[in-house]
């Protein structure tokens, strides 16, 4: 008799429960437009999670982070070795908006059909929230004591930067995360099929930094009918066009290098340094994701100037969405100086990049938990071009990973489902992830 069969009840109940939990969570509309005035559902979702935890015996902490309705729930399960750092398992409850007229099913229906759970949040990230919740309940209900404390955190406002969620809690309630040394959450642990029956599972070890930059040019106001050499709109748009067309240099960070080496080994694709983008393009659906981690980007997204056709304004502004690779901030700013010139003022908001190494016992446990369910699997690190709540938790010195395991069909364009129309997650993938996480949480 194996140790598992002798001591530990089967994870079956959690596997059955996870589908219903994902569906019910999707039915709670937690749309986050970024405008705090329009917030809906985060409190209801947090209360739903808190009730599910309380039902099996957890003491939960409910916190509204800085504004009414921005509900967060945190609960801790004590481990057998108090000398070890706690593991934080965090997930956000909010979702981006969805336009029902574009969808095949209603985005807040949580429909379970054709082998999928459908709806806004199905992959970002009520899937992982449901798996975490199912397993928090399983561990408590079955009296299983993990090796280390596990802190389960269900959070508001990730989709608008976490100012009313993770970031607020990190600044105002760090006590809730006391002792946490490592964390897992979204956008990692999913599979890509590299050849028949062989899957690589991409574990997020790095994130590009986010920097939303406002550019401002001041000029002389004047009449639109006159010769005018100091036009703020002209100067600003020239600078914005130069920046928008600029290509930042290719930089191979450690995470990306290790990812490409692993893919080469599995597929035989060679990534030539002189045609990196050409070779990454051969990766199929994930080329878009990986391609965005090869260089810094600066995409102009908003323009604002003027108030009347015949008045030259004295001020013109633009917003640029910049995503900066780990270690590149200084070099990035030096390039900006050259491209923008001295007349353009700039102002930033954002969060720095993250990068951790793909090694150590926690990574070994992730790999072992996946291989136990998918013996031919290989795990690889990768960098996310976007940002998550990990950026906030890293400020507490927590080492953060994206590990929300899903075994996906080979032909599913997974990255397109994030914030996409007809967002959905395979039922089998949810069950697979629940089994992987069960083993991982018990042993890590
Ligand atoms: Zn997300």
Q: Which two tokens stand for residue 341?
A: 């010139």
Residues with Cβ < 8 Å from 119, sequence gap 6 or more? 23, 26, 27, 105, 106, 107, 108, 109, 110, 111, 126, 423, 424
Whole-number Å distance, alpha carbon 386 to ligand 1 midpoint, is 10
Whole-number Å distance, alpha carbon 91 to ligand 1 midpoint, is 8
Q: Are 15 and 433 in contact (CB under 8 A)?
A: no
Whole-number Å distance, alpha carbon 240 to ligand 1 midpoint, is 30
Q: Are 301 and 321 in contact (CB under 8 A)?
A: yes
Residue of 260, 296, 265 lying closest to 279 (CA atoms): 260
Whole-number Å distance, alpha carbon 270 to ligand 1 midpoint, is 32
Whole-number Å distance, alpha carbon 153 to ligand 1 midpoint, is 14
Burial 406-421 (b: 16+ CB within 10 A, else e): bbbeeebebbebbebe
Whole-number Å distance, alpha carbon 125 to ligand 1 midpoint, is 5
Whole-number Å distance, alpha carbon 121 to ligand 1 midpoint, is 8
Cα angle 348, 354, 358; round to 5: 170
- Tally of CA atoms within 13 A in the half-sphere of 24 that contains its CB: 16
Whole-number Å distance, alpha carbon 158 to ligand 1 midpoint, is 7
Whole-number Å distance, alpha carbon 157 to ligand 1 midpoint, is 10
| Pair type for strands 86-92 and 180-185 | parallel
Residue 278, pLDDT score: 86
Whole-number Å distance, alpha carbon 290 to ligand 1 midpoint, is 18
Whole-number Å distance, alpha carbon 96 to ligand 1 midpoint, is 9
Whole-number Å distance, alpha carbon 124 to ligand 1 midpoint, is 4
Whole-number Å distance, alpha carbon 228 to ligand 1 midpoint, is 48
Rounded to whole angstroms, the Cα distance separating 11 from 246 reads: 52
Whole-number Å distance, alpha carbon 345 to ligand 1 midpoint, is 32
Residue of 78, 77, 180 lying closest to 132 (CA atoms): 77
Residues with Cβ < 8 Å from 3, sequence gap 6 or more? none
Helix%, strand%, coil% for the chain, nearest 5? 40, 25, 35
Residue of 393, 401, 402, 427 lying closest to 176 (CA atoms): 393
Residue 6, pLDDT score: 53
Whole-number Å distance, alpha carbon 250 to ligand 1 midpoint, is 27
Q: Report, as ranges of residue numbers, the positions in the chain whose pLDDT lies below 50.
A: 1-3, 5
Q: Are 125 and 204 in contact (CB under 8 A)?
A: no
Whole-number Å distance, alpha carbon 226 to ligand 1 midpoint, is 51
CA Rg value for the chain: 23
pTM, 2 dp: 0.92
Whole-number Å distance, alpha carbon 92 to ligand 1 midpoint, is 7
Whole-number Å distance, alpha carbon 441 to ligand 1 midpoint, is 21
Residue 392, pLDDT score: 96
Burial of 352 by CB count in 10 Å (0-12 exposed, 13-18 middle, 19+ buried)? middle
Whole-number Å distance, alpha carbon 80 to ligand 1 midpoint, is 31
Whole-number Å distance, alpha carbon 190 to ligand 1 midpoint, is 14
Whole-number Å distance, alpha carbon 343 to ligand 1 midpoint, is 37
Residue 246, pLDDT score: 97
Residue of 271, 383, 272, 403 lying closest to 327 (CA atoms): 383
Whole-number Å distance, alpha carbon 28 to ligand 1 midpoint, is 16
Q: Which two tokens stand for residue 20?
A: 């219903």
Whole-number Å distance, alpha carbon 261 to ligand 1 midpoint, is 27
Whole-number Å distance, alpha carbon 258 to ligand 1 midpoint, is 24
The gap between the terminal CA atoms of the chain, to the nearest Å, is 22
Whole-number Å distance, alpha carbon 114 to ligand 1 midpoint, is 24
């Amino acid at each position: 008799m194996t140790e598992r069969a002798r001591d530990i009840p089967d994870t079956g109940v959690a596997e059955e429960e996870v589908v219903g939990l994902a569906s019910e969570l999707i039915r709670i509309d937690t749309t986050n437009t970024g405008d705090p005035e329009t917030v809906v559902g985060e409190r209801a979702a947090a209360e739903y999670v808190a009730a599910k935890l309380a039902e099996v015996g957890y003491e939960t902490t409910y916190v509204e982070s800085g504004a009414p309705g921005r509900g967060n729930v945190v609960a801790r399960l004590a481990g057998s070795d108090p000398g070890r750092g706690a593991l934080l398992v965090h997930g956000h409850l909010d979702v981006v908006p969805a336009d029902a007229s574009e969808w095949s099913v209603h985005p807040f229906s949580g429909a379970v059909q054709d082998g999928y759970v459908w709806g806004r949040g199905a992959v970002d990230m009520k899937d992982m929230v449901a798996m975490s919740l199912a397993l928090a309940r399983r561990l408590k209900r079955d009296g299983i004591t993990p090796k280390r404390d596990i802190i389960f955190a269900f959070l508001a406002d990730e989709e608008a930067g976490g100012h009313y969620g993770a970031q607020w809690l990190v600044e105002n309630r760090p006590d809730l995360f006391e002792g946490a040394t490592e964390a897992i959450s979204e956008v990692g642990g999913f599979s890509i099929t590299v050849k028949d029956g062989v899957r690589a599972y991409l574990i997020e070890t790095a994130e590009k930094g986010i920097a939303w930059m406002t550019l401002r040019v001041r000029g002389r106001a004047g009449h639109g009918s006159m010769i005018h050499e100091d036009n703020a709109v002209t100067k600003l748009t020239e600078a914005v066009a130069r920046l928008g067309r600029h290509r930042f240099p290719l930089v191979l960070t450690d995470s990306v290098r290790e990812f490409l080496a692993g893919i080469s080994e599995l597929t035989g694709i060679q990534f030539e340094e002189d045609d990196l983008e050409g070779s990454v393009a051969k990766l199929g659906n994930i080329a878009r994701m990986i391609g965005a981690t090869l260089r810094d980007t600066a995409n102009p997204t908003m323009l604002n100037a003027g108030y009347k056709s015949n008045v030259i304004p004295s001020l013109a502004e633009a917003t640029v969405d910049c995503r900066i690779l780990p270690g590149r901030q200084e070099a990035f700013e030096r390039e900006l100086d050259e491209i923008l010139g001295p007349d353009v003022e700039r102002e930033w908001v954002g969060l720095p990049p993250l990068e951790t190494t793909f090694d150590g016992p926690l990574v070994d446990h992730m790999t072992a938990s996946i291989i136990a369910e998918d013996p031919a699997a290989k795990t690889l690190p990768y960098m996310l071009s976007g940002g998550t709540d990990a950026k906030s938790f890293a400020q507490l010195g927590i080492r953060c990973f994206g590990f929300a395991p899903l075994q996906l069909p080979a032909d599913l364009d997974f990255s397109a489902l994030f914030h996409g129309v007809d967002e959905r997650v395979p039922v089998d993938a949810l069950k697979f992830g629940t089994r992987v996480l069960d083993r991982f949480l018990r042993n890590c």
